[in-house]
Amino acid sequence: MSDTIIELRNISKQYRNPDGGMVDALYPADLSIYAGEFFTLLGPSGCGKSTTLRIMAGFEAATSGDILIKNQSMLKVPAYHRPVNMVFQDYALFPHLTIAKNVEFGLEMKKVPKSEREDRVQAALDMVQLNGLERRKPNQLSGGQRQRVALARALVNEPSVLLLDEPLGALDLKLRRAMQAELKQLQQQVGITFVYVTHDQEEALAMSDRIAVMDGGRYLQVDTPQEIYEHPSTRFVADFIGETNFISATLNSHVADLANVQIGSQAVGVVYRANGIYPGDEVTLAIRPEKLRLEQNANGTELPQLTGTLEQAMYLGTDTRFVVRMETGESLVVREQNQMVNDFRPTIGDAVQVQFTAEDARILTD
Amino acid sequence: MTNNRLRNLPGYVYLALVLIFLYLPIALLFVLSFNDSAVMAFPLRGFTWHWYQELLGAGELWQATRNSFIVAFVSAFFATLLGAMAAFAIVRYRFRWRDSLLALSSIPLVMPSIVLGAGLLILFRSLMGFELSLGLITASHILISIPACMLIVMARLAGFSKNLEEAAMDLGATPWQTLLRVTLPISLPALLAAFLVAFTTSFDEYAMTTLITGTETTLPVYLYSMLRFPRKLPIVLALGSIIIVGTSVIIILAEWLRSADTTANKNSAVEVDR
Ligand SMILES: Nc1ncnc2c1ncn2[C@@H]1O[C@H](COP(=O)(O)OP(=O)(O)OP(=O)(O)O)[C@@H](O)[C@H]1O
Ligand SMILES: [Mg+2]
């Protein structure tokens, strides 16, 4: 594993409300960010993403714990001496300065010689393809251009870590998608560690090397996009990232890695490698819609399968989205790719079998 | 087109009436200041520079004018400074008595200044035993101007995000550098506006000032005392005309600068959209 560049040790944060009460914005937790990675903090509004970022930047003091950047404690280091730079959601460009002066600001503060400053400003503006706009003021730029200025202004300082707080939040969808690709490419090009905040799960999956899924001031799961998508650790994570079917079940038996659960009148086997569940326990089965398959009959397969009635079919171009009502009353979403050679085309009201592979279902206990 | 104009006619008449009522008194002041008569009445008697010449020799009047400018300048400076500091505290920090302070500091805005003047007179003379002086007048003017200055600066600060200051620090600026390079330049228009408001408040103030005037006084108080000498009244008109011309020039200049600035911005914004 690569070197750790930012380490949060037992960090927590409580805000004091104006009425004197305390708000727990972050519960004590550890978090390590590795040098050169694209790390994303993902979670719904108010879960503590910005708070985490602001503690790293030095705008907010942690209530407990320590924060290390490049193995040095930052507790006593003010924001203006930390080797990190931030890109704000509203860009926070200085309205009274030109684009060139905005980008030069950090270098000027660090007393970089004038000639070197000019070269570096030019290079930074080149990098974000903004040359020619040096003399404009921020209010004379479009949203996307401002976004680039904010990036250039931070990157020109060659920080160890770049912190980005929903940097694409103010852009329209099309520009957003374009900038995602560009940002990712930029990050690989400069090789700087990015800590990126977003509440858009697609964005997080597409861009990140690792994601921390947050909720209510806790880091629920910290892992690669693939791991988080395919092996969500909690119901919240499974639900927040992509679409998931949740099926209530009761555990019949758990032998070696194979659990047998009861769903209505049917018993199905799924893989469960951890311990701590016992026969009779109420559990939840989580399975992605694209991991389910529709079949007409219970054809003597050994695959786990559930019986139900087709309730809805929605043609979506590359795939079709089916909703199946199971005997238990719960409904399942199934997504199947529209292949040319598809023998089975059920119609609404048909009795169908929903099949899956034992490895693709997850047992969640929360 | 013509139809439209006709339909708007009542509007134009209304506008004309408003302008006449606003500017007729000022125009009269001008006209009468050149009238060759000590009696301010029509018909006009003929053109004269006489009153302007007498104005040159009116020492006390100049003294009062000079006092007014000094008091207005000094009090506006300190009112802006203190008002801005209060505004920063209220906008930037959440502290215990924040709301109460905000409410409390607005009271001088609505309190009749004659009442305040009486209170100050008692405070200065009876309790503190000060001799009445221009210094005390200045201090009182600072007091009444602070709330307006504070509110003006607060409005501007509320509009500019705290992120700007954080961005500056993030880029390596110390708190001092942040103040000088970011906060002050951005709040400059508001500071100037606050200064102007405080300046005119002080320059205008009569009711309170007259109560705490000692041997030396400001222009409004002096002018009022001069009403006892009707023969000298046209000199006052001459002075008034000069002040009006002076302030008009300043206001027109400022407005011209401001609009030149905004049109520049608009033009290039259009360019970007294309
Ligand atoms: N200055 C503050 N004073 C009091 N409470 C605060 C303050 N800043 C944040 N909080 C609270 O702390 C919690 C976490 O806030 P934070 O800004 O980190 O959320 P976030 O994940 O960035 O949300 P969003 O996606 O909406 O930006 C929220 O409940 C918020 O109300
Ligand atoms: Mg946030």
The predicted model gives A336-346 an average pLDDT of 71
Distance CA B3, CA A257 (A): 89
* A305-332 average pLDDT score: 89
**DSSP letter for each residue of A188-199:** HHH--EEEEEES
Q: How many domains does chain A have?
A: 2
Q: Assign B132 a pLDDT band (cuts: 50, 70, 90).
A: confident
Supply the CATH number for residue A350's domain: 2.40.50.100
Residues A142 and A28 placed together within one structural domain of the fold: yes
Which of A181, A206, A239 corresponds to the end of one domain?
A239
Contact between residue A337 and residue A276 where contact means Cβ atoms under 8 Å apart: no
CB atoms within 10 A of CB A120: 19
Determine, yes or no, domain membership for B20: no
Look over chain B and give the mean of its residue pLDDT values, rounded to a whole number. 82
Q: How far is the CA of B193 from the centre of ligand 1 (A)?
A: 35
Closest-CA residue in chain B for A97? B182
Tally the domains of chain B: 1
Mutate to test the pocket of ligand 1, among A50, A196, A200, A220 (most ligand atoms within 8 A of CB): A50
Closest CA to A39 of A159, A184, A243, A186: A184
Q: Give, using CA atoms, the residue closest to atom 30 of ligand 1.
A: A46
> Closest partner residue to A92 among B167, B177, B271, by Cβ?
B167
Same domain, A136 and A256: no
pTM of structure: 0.78
- Where residue A91 sits, what CATH number does that domain have? 3.40.50.300
Sheet with A331-337: strands ordered across:
A293-295, A351-355, A305-315, A319-326, A331-337
Q: How far is the CA of B1 from the centre of ligand 2 (A)?
A: 54
Nearest CA to ligand 1 atom 25: A45
| Residue closest to B137 by CA, chosen among B78, B81, B71 | B71
What spacing in Å lies between the alpha carbon of A232 and ligand 1's midpoint? 25
Segment A219-257, tens digit of pLDDT: 999 999 999 998 888 899 999 998 899 999 999 988 888
Peptide linkage before A138 cis (omega within 30 of 0):
no
Is residue A273 domain-shared with residue A347, that is, in the same domain? yes
Q: Could you read off the pLDDT of B59-114 as tens digits, one per residue?
A: 888 888 888 999 999 999 999 999 999 888 888 777 777 788 788 877 877 888 88
User: Going by C-beta distance under 8 Å and a sequence separation of 6 or more, which residues neighbour residue A234?
Assistant: A220, A221, A364, A366
Range of A316's domain?
A: 243-364
Residues A152, A256, single domain; the answer is no
Query: Model ipTM?
Result: 0.81
Mean pLDDT of A257-270: 86
| Residue A246, beta-bridge partner list | A286
Whether residues A217 and A256 share a domain: the answer is no
> Which chain A residues have a beta carbon less than 8 Å from that of B272?
140-142, 145
Residue B2 inside a domain? The answer is no
The CA-based angle B84-B87-B90, given to 5 degrees, is 155
